[in-house]
Chain A
Amino acid sequence: MSAKNAAVTESLLTKTILILVAVAYVALILVLPLASVFSEAFRHGIAAFKAAIVEPDALAAIQLTLTVAAISVPINMVCGLAAAWAVTKHDFRGKQLLISLIDVPFSISPVVAGLMYLLLFGAQGWFGEWLLAHDIRIAFAKPGIVLATLIVTLPFVARELIPLMQAQGREEEEAALTLGAPGWRIFLWVTLPNIRWGLLYGVLLTNARAMGEFGAVSVISGHIRGETNTMPLQVEVLYNEYNFAAAFAVASLLAGLALVTLVVKTLLEWRHGDQLAAAGH
């Protein structure tokens, strides 16, 4: 690992300074803000924190966030798996284009993503009149929130699985095929065990982003309190009403979720690093 050769390493003093500067930077930019969320949330005591969480609009927001994640995460998991299978186990024309397309949502501003759906499903949008005539609400309602969440979280599972399955090749599946196994059994018994940790990793990232998405959901939701406000939107509403204690209380739940995500992510990288896609996270 580390060559104990004075010429290819820095002096102890240089090392210490570099480490301290790096730690100070991370503390200033990342740790202090994180700590402030919890400090502000509990500033007025546990009772005030609890009151802010069990407030009906806050509870409705929590419920909506969980519902949206429960719908959008499985959809993107299944579709991401399908995309990874098609792209890594088969050859076809336009494959590279397909892989590039999967990456596109990462580079679209969340606000622009939300606007695109508004142009499709809003009152003046392409399907606006038809939807109105059939009494179906997508924009400013839950389906719109799900759609917005789906597009911003679209790449995570596929992006994790494609490099992983590419590196693993097709030999094991082809061997199973020779032995006469049907397709779904090949997938369940051969492919899935090989990719399960990578899949879990992708799902974890999808979920974190799904529960926390703000910009895209903000544009499409219409901010109807107790109805179309997710947790991040509720944080904004409370904050703009100068109800800082309640805003930070709801925010601290999301920060807690982020911490759990980081812990599980670190454990996965630690224990199953060999089964995760190499770089890029």
Chain B
Amino acid sequence: MATAAVSLPGKRRGRHSPLPGLPLTLGITVAWLSILLLLPLVALFAKSLTLGPGHFFEAAFSRRAIASYELSFGAALVAAGVNAVFGLLVAWVLVRYRFPGRRLLGALVDLPFALPTAVAGIALTAVYADTGWVGKPVAAFGIKLAYNPIGVVIALTFIGLPFVVRTVEPVLADMGRGLEEAAATLGARRWTIFRRVILPEIFPAIVTGFALAFARGVGEYGSVIFIAGNMPFKSEIAPLLIVTKLEEYDYAGATAIATVLLLASLVLLLLINLWQGRELKRRSA
């Protein structure tokens, strides 16, 4: 970046930054993370440990809990898959084409980040329940979109779209056209160029966006519970089961399920970071 920094790479590493404020700002940061994040995490794991392995596994992997994991992970997987395809399409259209309303489309993609999840939940239910704008015509074919696992997938599709679009968009925008032009000169058809030249280039970004959308979907609560139907074993997501256990004052059961969800999301986060780190290295190499 700046020339001064580049000329002294070896020296810079060892010496302390001359700028002031490290003790103060680092102190604030450590206190902030400790109180808000680390202490509560420790409390959760400690509570899990006090349950003992037998009780923990009984609560964490009861038949009802397993059904809820299957739904939360399964629906998140399907929704992330749908968004991987359509999110790529939206990103492609936003980057490559100029058309009226493009800016509006681009701004709308962020709606799921800005709209409170509870509002999204009742809105999606209003549209997709069998009295709604979309639900009603579809119900004529005997397909119900709400109060079943399909409803869960719809809610998670809503929540996940921006993750894919916002990850793929910058990579697509930064991609040079040189290779495409070369391939075209060699006589490749457009579809072949997309498959063989463009897709390999943006594939890592699609995977990252997919993983982010999936991770978000697994823990999602607010947008799902209104449209899901919430029937145990059928349409009950894992976060809802935690809330149900809490309402029954079954703190142990809630903690066991929460620990499983938390570990799953931490592993996912780690995998995403490793994957991104590898991609960053590959790109700069």
Q: Do A and B bind each other?
A: yes
* Interface residues, chain A, with chain B CB atoms under 8 Å away: 2-3, 5, 7-10, 14-15, 18-19, 21-23, 25-26, 28-34, 36-37, 40, 78-79, 82-83, 85-87, 89-92, 98, 100-113, 115-120, 122, 124-126, 147, 150-151, 154, 167, 169-171, 173-174, 177, 182-183, 186-187, 205, 208, 211-215, 218-219, 231-233, 235-236, 239, 247-248, 251, 254-255, 257-259, 261-263, 265-266, 278-281
Q: Within the assembled complex, what's the spacing in Å between the Cα atoms of A101 and B44?
A: 17
Contact in complex: A174, B127 (CB < 8 Å): no
The yes or no answer to B177 lying at the interface (CB within 8 A) is yes
Task: Bits for B133-167, please: 1 = Cβ < 8 Å to A, else 0.
Answer: 11000000000000000000010011001000011
Q: Which A residues are in CB contact (< 8 Å) with B134?
A: 28, 32
Q: Which B residues are in CB contact (< 8 Å) with A23?
A: 101, 105
Q: Which residue of A lies closest to B15 (CB)?
A: A91
Contact in complex: A82, B25 (CB < 8 Å): yes
Contact in complex: B258, A147 (CB < 8 Å): no
**Chain A, interface SS category:** helix
Partner of B19, one of A78, A87, A186, A251: A186
A-B contact count (CB 8 A): 309
Q: Within the assembled complex, what's the spacing in Å between the Cα atoms of A236 and B246?
A: 18
Partner of B185, one of A7, A116, A171, A208: A7
The yes or no answer to B285 lying at the interface (CB within 8 A) is no
- Which of B25, B238, B251, B266 counts the most A-chain CB atoms under 10 A from its CB? B25
Partner of B33, one of A91, A102, A122: A102
Q: Within the assembled complex, what's the spacing in Å between the Cα atoms of A122 and B26?
A: 30
Q: Within the assembled complex, what's the spacing in Å between the Cα atoms of A199 and B155?
A: 31
Contacts A85-B21, A112-B239; A265 near B110 (Cβ below 8 A): yes
Q: Which A residues are in CB contact (< 8 Å) with B4?
A: 171
Contact in complex: A115, B44 (CB < 8 Å): yes
Q: Within the assembled complex, what's the spacing in Å between the Cα atoms of A235 and B222?
A: 11
Task: Bits for B163-186, please: 1 = Cβ < 8 Å to A, else 0.
Answer: 000110010000001001100110
For the complex formed, measure the closest distance between the CB of A279 and the CB atoms of chain B, giving whole angstroms.
Answer: 4
For the complex formed, measure the closest distance between the CB of B199 and the CB atoms of chain A, giving whole angstroms.
Answer: 15
Partner of A120, one of B43, B106, B258: B43
Contact in complex: B243, A262 (CB < 8 Å): no
